[in-house]
Amino acid sequence: MATRSEPLYVQLATSLRAKIQSGEYPPGSKLPSERKLMEVYDASRNTVRLGLQRLVAEGLVFASQGRAYMVHRQDVLVYNSSRSEDHNRRLAAGVDAWVQDIQEQGRTPSQEISVSIENAGPSIAQSLEMEPGELVLVRRRLRFVDDQPWSTEDSYYPHELVKNTPIAEPADIPEGVIAYMASLGHKQTRYVDDVTAVMPNPKQAAELAVEAGIPLLVRTRVGYTETGPVRVTITAMPTDRNVLRYELGTGENDG
């Protein structure tokens, strides 16, 4: 319980915390604006921000895309890594596989996309079976769920393969890049995944609003056509809000 000797920002945080815990501000709801909080608590903007940041550090709230503060939802999302590349499923749905998965879990997905042309570093070049320094096109996505930053996904393609196509534009491709590439004759038939856990660097921590001590689950997927690798996708997702799922069939030769 707050005491009169505590700084006002601590009292403000204590009051908001109690309202969150009581359900007055339920998970997924928006807190009052900074201006409204300034009026209610007779506080300066700096005091309000200090109080809100205290709640951010506790993992109770986060700053959304529009800079409004939202109450964290505690339920995690399942990222189905096995079916995300299902060509027929993508064509039937007519939307990006990640978008479909999030919508099926009753949440609202959105994403920011940027595109750049870069020189392939050693690890990307090795995965794509090209020479280091050759040009690759990179599609970077910052993905949001209910306005909360949720994951990043960086995909690398040989530049010659995808130049002058919609893949080279910083915009969504409704059916997804994998289905679109298949329509061009580059159907991916095999995938190799490497999954690791790392601590976020400062850029990742800020971009994904990762709380202190929370590692990232990083999946590096190489997609192959019948003639060789055509894509490397690196997905980074905070471990406190994501489950990475694989569905493996049972065959007669399984041991």
- Examine the domain organization and report whether 120 and 220 are in the same domain: yes
**Domain count for the chain:** 2
The enclosing domain of 201 has a CATH number of 3.40.1410.10
* Torsion sign (Cα): 162, 143, 235, 126: positive
C-alpha to C-alpha distance for 187 and 228, rounded to whole angstroms: 11
- For the question of whether the overall pTM of this predicted structure is more than 0.85, the answer is no
Question: Which residue among 21, 45, 71 closes a domain?
Answer: 71
Domain hosting residue 66, numbered range: 8-71
Q: Is residue 255 part of a domain?
A: no
What is the bridge-based pairing of β-strands 228-238 and 216-225? antiparallel
pLDDT, one tens digit per residue, over 18-73 is: 999 999 999 878 999 999 999 999 999 999 999 999 998 787 887 776 668 888 77
Question: Which residue among 71, 103, 123 closes a domain?
Answer: 71
- Examine the domain organization and report whether 42 and 134 are in the same domain: no
Q: Please compute the mean of the pLDDT values over residues 102-127 and round it to a whole number.
A: 94
- Examine the domain organization and report whether 29 and 106 are in the same domain: no
- Examine the domain organization and report whether 98 and 13 are in the same domain: no
- Examine the domain organization and report whether 85 and 63 are in the same domain: no
Residues 157/167, Cβ–Cβ less than 8 Å: yes
Q: Where in the chain does DSSP place strands (E)?
A: 61-63, 69-71, 77-80, 109-119, 135-145, 148-158, 190-198, 216-225, 228-238, 242-245
